[in-house]
Amino acid sequence: MSPERGPLFLARRSYRRRRLADAARVLPILGAILFCLPLVWKGTAAAGGTVQAMIYVFGLWTVLILASAILSRHLRLDESERENWHSARTGADGE
Amino acid sequence: MTVLNLLILVCLSYVVLLFGVAFAADRAALAGRASWLRSSVVYTLSLSIYCTAWTFYGAVGFAARSGLEFVTIYLGPTLVMIGWWWTLRRLVRVGRSQRITSIADLISSRYGKSNLLAVLVTVLAVVATTPYIALQLQSVTLSFAAFAETDPTATTLPDMQSTALWVAAGLALFTILFGTRNLDANERHHGVVMAIAMEAVVKLFALLAVGVFVVWGLSGGIGPTLERIEASALARFEVSGGRWIGLTMLSAMAFLTLPRMFQVLVVENEADEHLRTAAWAFPSYLMLMSLFVVPIAVVGLDMLPAGANPDLFVLTLPLMEGRDGLAILSFLGGFSSATSMVIVAAIALSTMVSNHVVMPLWLHYSGMAAVVSGDVRNVALMTRRLSIAGVLFLGYVYFRVSGGGTALAAIGLIAFVGVAQFLPALMGGLFWRGATRTGALAGVLLGAAIWLYSLFLPSFGASALLPQAVLDQGPWGLGWLRPQALFGAEGMDPVIHALMWSLLLNVAAFILGSLLSFPQPLERLQGAQFVNAFDQPGAPGGWSGGMAQSEDLLTMAQRIMGAREAQALFADAARRQGVAGYLPEPSPDFLQELERALAGSVGAATAHAMIGQIVGGAAVSVEDLMAVADETAQIMEYSIQLEAQSQELARTARQLRQANETLTQISVQKDAFLSQISHELRTPMTSIRAFSEILRDNQDLTPEEQSKYASIIHDETVRLTRLLDDLLDLSVLENGQVDLNIQTGTLEALLDRSVRAAGGDGDGFRIRRVRADEQVELTTDLDRLAQVFINLISNARKYCDAKPAILEIRARLAEDRLVVDFVDNGSGIPTDKHAVIFEKFSRIGQTRASGAGLGLAICREIMERLGGDIAYLPGQKGGAFRVTLPLDAGRLPARGAA
Amino acid sequence: MGKKVLVIEDEPNIIEAISFLLSRDGWEVTTHAKGHDAMEAVRQRQPDLIILDVMLPGKSGYDILAEIREDAAFAGTPVLMLTARGQTRDREQAERAGADHYMTKPFSNADMLAAVRALARA
Contacts across the B-C interface (CB distance below 8 Å): 66
Contacts of B294 in chain A (CB under 8 A): 50, 54
| Banded pLDDT at B848 (limits 50, 70, 90) | very low
**What's at B618, amino acid-wise?**
A
Output phi, psi for C71, to 5 deg.
-80, 120
Question: Are A42 and B237 a contacting pair at CB < 8 A?
Answer: yes
Collapsing DSSP to helix, strand or coil, B871 comes out as strand
Instruction: State the pLDDT at residue B307.
Output: 74
Instruction: State the pLDDT at residue B631.
Output: 37
Q: Is the pLDDT of residue B612 over 80?
A: no
Collapsing DSSP to helix, strand or coil, C96 comes out as helix
The H-assigned helical ranges of B698-771 are 703-734, 747-757
Q: Kindly state the average pLDDT of the residues A12-16.
A: 68
Burial C57-85 (b: 16+ CB within 10 A, else e): ebbbbbbbbeebbeeeebeebbbbbbbbb
Instruction: State the pLDDT at residue B370.
Output: 53
pLDDT digits (tens, 9 = 90+) for B356-397: 888 778 777 776 555 555 566 777 788 888 888 888 888 888
Contacts of B229 in chain A (CB under 8 A): 50-51, 54
Instruction: State the pLDDT at residue B32.
Output: 66
| Banded pLDDT at A81 (limits 50, 70, 90) | very low
* Contact status of B77 with chain A (Cβ, < 8 Å): no
Which of A 16-75 lie inside 8 A of B, CB atoms? 21, 24-25, 27-29, 31-32, 35-36, 38-39, 41-42, 48-54, 57-58, 61-62, 64-69, 71-73, 75
Residue B831 Cα distances to B368, B372, B551, B707, angstroms: 20, 16, 8, 49
> What 8-state DSSP symbol labels residue B218?
I
Residue B720: name the closest of B686, B690, B748, B693 by CA. Answer: B686
Collapsing DSSP to helix, strand or coil, B884 comes out as strand
> Rounded to an integer, what distance in angstroms lies between the CA atom of residue C51 and that of residue C42?
11
- Subunits in contact with chain C (3 or more CB pairs closer than 8 Å): B
Question: Are B237 and A21 a contacting pair at CB < 8 A?
Answer: no
**What's at B168, amino acid-wise?**
A
Instruction: For residue A89, give every residue at least 6 positions away whose Cβ sits within 8 Å of its Cβ, in sequence order, or none.
Output: none
| Interface probe, candidates A40, A52, A61, chain B, greatest B C-beta count within 10 A | A61
Q: Is the pLDDT of residue B869 over 50?
A: yes
CATH of domain B644-734: 1.10.287.130
Output phi, psi for B71, to 5 deg.
-65, -20
In chain A, which residue's Cα lies nearest the Cα of B279? A68
Q: Are C77 and C6 in contact (CB under 8 A)?
A: no
Question: Are C85 and B675 a contacting pair at CB < 8 A?
Answer: yes
Beta bridge partners of C81: C52, C102
Q: Is the pLDDT of residue B711 over 60?
A: yes
Contacts of B698 in chain C (CB under 8 A): 24
Question: Are B690 and C56 a contacting pair at CB < 8 A?
Answer: no
> Rounded to an integer, what distance in angstroms lies between the CA atom of residue B879 and that of residue B895?
32
Residue B796: name the closest of B752, B754, B733, B748 by CA. Answer: B754
What are the E-state strand segments in B195-246? none
Residue B193: name the closest of B99, B265, B296 by CA. Answer: B265
Instruction: State the pLDDT at residue B897.
Output: 37
| pLDDT-above-90 percentage for chain B | 6
* Contact status of A76 with chain B (Cβ, < 8 Å): yes
Is the model more confident about B838 or about B538?
A: B838
Q: Distance from CA of residue C28 to its chain's centroid?
A: 14
pLDDT digits (tens, 9 = 90+) for B213-238: 888 888 887 788 887 877 777 777 77
| Interface probe, candidates B681, B693, B719, chain C, greatest C C-beta count within 10 A | B693
Contacts of C61 in chain B (CB under 8 A): none
Question: Are C107 and B686 a contacting pair at CB < 8 A?
Answer: yes
Q: Is the pLDDT of residue A93 over 50?
A: no
In chain A, which residue's Cα lies nearest the Cα of B272? A76
Is the model more confident about A14 or about B310?
A: B310
* Contact status of B576 with chain C (Cβ, < 8 Å): no
| pLDDT-above-70 percentage for chain B | 79
Q: Which CATH class is domain B3-403?
A: mainly alpha
Residue B412: name the closest of B260, B201, B294 by CA. Answer: B260
**B290–chain A nearest CA distance, Å:** 9
Instruction: State the pLDDT at residue B112.
Output: 78
pLDDT digits (tens, 9 = 90+) for B543-552: 444 444 677 7
Question: Are C109 and B694 a contacting pair at CB < 8 A?
Answer: yes
Contacts of C21 in chain B (CB under 8 A): 690, 694
pLDDT digits (tens, 9 = 90+) for B635-666: 445 556 666 777 777 778 888 888 788 778 77
**What's at C27, amino acid-wise?**
W
Residue C3 Cα distances to B24, C27, C114, C117, angstroms: 87, 5, 15, 11
State which CATH number among 3.90.75.20, 3.30.565.10, 3.40.50.720, 1.20.120.1810 fits the domain covering B743-896: 3.30.565.10
Contacts of A77 in chain B (CB under 8 A): none
* Contact status of B44 with chain A (Cβ, < 8 Å): no
- Please tell me whether the peptide bond between B804 and the residue prior to it is cis, using omega within 30 degrees of 0: yes
Contacts of B683 in chain C (CB under 8 A): 11, 14, 84, 105
The total number of structural domains that make up chain C:
1
Contacts of C13 in chain B (CB under 8 A): 687, 691, 712, 715-716
Q: Are B679 and C54 in contact (CB under 8 A)?
A: no
User: What average pLDDT does the structure give for chain B?
Assistant: 78
> What 8-state DSSP symbol labels residue B807?
E
> What 8-state DSSP symbol labels residue B157?
P
Instruction: State the pLDDT at residue B409.
Output: 54
Q: Is the pLDDT of residue B17 over 80?
A: yes
Q: Are B685 and B707 in contact (CB under 8 A)?
A: no
Instruction: State the pLDDT at residue A47.
Output: 47
> Rounded to an integer, what distance in angstroms lies between the CA atom of residue B457 and that of residue B451?
8
* Contact status of B846 with chain C (Cβ, < 8 Å): yes
Closest CB to A39 among B230, B241, B277: B241
pLDDT digits (tens, 9 = 90+) for B737-760: 777 788 888 888 888 888 888 877
pLDDT digits (tens, 9 = 90+) for B34-50: 666 668 888 888 888 88
Instruction: State the pLDDT at residue B634.
Output: 44
pLDDT digits (tens, 9 = 90+) for B316-366: 888 888 787 888 888 888 888 888 888 888 888 888 888 888 877 877 777
**What is the DSSP code string of B106-119?**
HHHHHTTT-HHHHH
Residue B346: name the closest of B416, B395, B298 by CA. Answer: B395
pLDDT digits (tens, 9 = 90+) for B250-262: 999 999 899 888 8
pLDDT digits (tens, 9 = 90+) for B453-471: 888 877 776 666 667 766 6
Instruction: State the pLDDT at residue C29.
Output: 92
Contacts of C17 in chain B (CB under 8 A): 686-687, 690-691, 694
- Least confident range from B69-78, B584-593, B779-788, C28-37: namely B584-593
> Rounded to an integer, what distance in angstroms lies between the CA atom of residue B534 and that of residue B538?
11
Closest CB to B690 among C17, C84, C87: C17
Q: Are B389 and B168 in contact (CB under 8 A)?
A: no
Closest CB to C105 among B674, B682, B716: B682
Tell me, what CATH number does C76's domain have?
Answer: 3.40.50.2300
Q: Is the pLDDT of residue B632 over 70?
A: no
Q: Using alpha carbons only, what angle is made at residue B309 by residues B304 and B314, rounded to the nearest 5 degrees?
A: 70
Instruction: State the pLDDT at residue B306.
Output: 74
Q: Are B767 and B793 in contact (CB under 8 A)?
A: yes
Q: Are B796 and B807 in contact (CB under 8 A)?
A: yes
> Rounded to an integer, what distance in angstroms lies between the CA atom of residue B730 and that of residue B747?
25
Q: Is the pLDDT of residue B858 over 70?
A: yes
Closest CB to B85 among A24, A39, A58: A24
- Least confident range from B141-155, B192-206, B445-459, C58-72: namely B141-155
> Rounded to an integer, what distance in angstroms lies between the CA atom of residue B94 and that of residue B98?
6
**For B224, how many CA atoms within 13 A lie in the half-sphere containing its CB?**
9
- Please tell me whether the peptide bond between C106 and the residue prior to it is cis, using omega within 30 degrees of 0: yes
B304: left (phi over 0), alpha (psi -120 to 50) or beta: beta
Instruction: State the pLDDT at residue B489.
Output: 66
Which of B 260-299 lie inside 8 A of A, CB atoms? 273, 276-277, 279-280, 283-284, 287, 291, 294
Say what the ipTM of the complex is. 0.92
In chain B, which residue's Cα lies nearest the Cα of A57? B71
**For B661, how many CA atoms within 13 A lie in the half-sphere containing its CB?**
11
Q: How many CB atoms lie within 10 A of CB A77?
A: 13
Q: Is the pLDDT of residue A2 over 60?
A: no
For chains C and B, having 3+ Cβ pairs within 8 Å is answered: yes
Output phi, psi for C101, to 5 deg.
-150, 160
Residue B142: name the closest of B105, B123, B167 by CA. Answer: B167
Q: Are B2 and B163 in contact (CB under 8 A)?
A: no
In chain B, domain spans: 3-403, 422-536, 545-629, 644-734, 743-896
Q: How many CB atoms lie within 10 A of CB B385?
A: 18
> What 8-state DSSP symbol labels residue B887?
S
Q: Is the pLDDT of residue B622 over 50?
A: no
Q: Kindly state the average pLDDT of the residues B186-194.
A: 73
For chains A and C, having 3+ Cβ pairs within 8 Å is answered: no
Closest CB to B235 among A38, A41, A50: A50
Q: Are C78 and C106 in contact (CB under 8 A)?
A: no
Instruction: State the pLDDT at residue B889.
Output: 53
Q: Distance from CA of residue B59 to its chain's centroid?
A: 35
Q: Is the pLDDT of residue B143 over 50?
A: yes
Instruction: State the pLDDT at residue B464.
Output: 63
Instruction: For residue B699, give every residue at least 6 positions away whose Cβ sits within 8 Å of its Cβ, in sequence order, or none.
Output: none
Question: Are A42 and B287 a contacting pair at CB < 8 A?
Answer: no
> Rounded to an integer, what distance in angstroms lies between the CA atom of residue B818 and that of residue B773?
11
Question: Are B678 and C84 a contacting pair at CB < 8 A?
Answer: yes
Instruction: State the pLDDT at residue A5.
Output: 43
- Please tell me whether the peptide bond between A38 and the residue prior to it is cis, using omega within 30 degrees of 0: no
| Banded pLDDT at B33 (limits 50, 70, 90) | low
> Rounded to an integer, what distance in angstroms lies between the CA atom of residue B392 and that of residue A91?
55
Question: Are B85 and A69 a contacting pair at CB < 8 A?
Answer: no
Burial B789-818 (b: 16+ CB within 10 A, else e): bbbbbbbbbbbbeeeebbbbbbbeeeeebb
Q: Is the pLDDT of residue B435 over 80?
A: yes
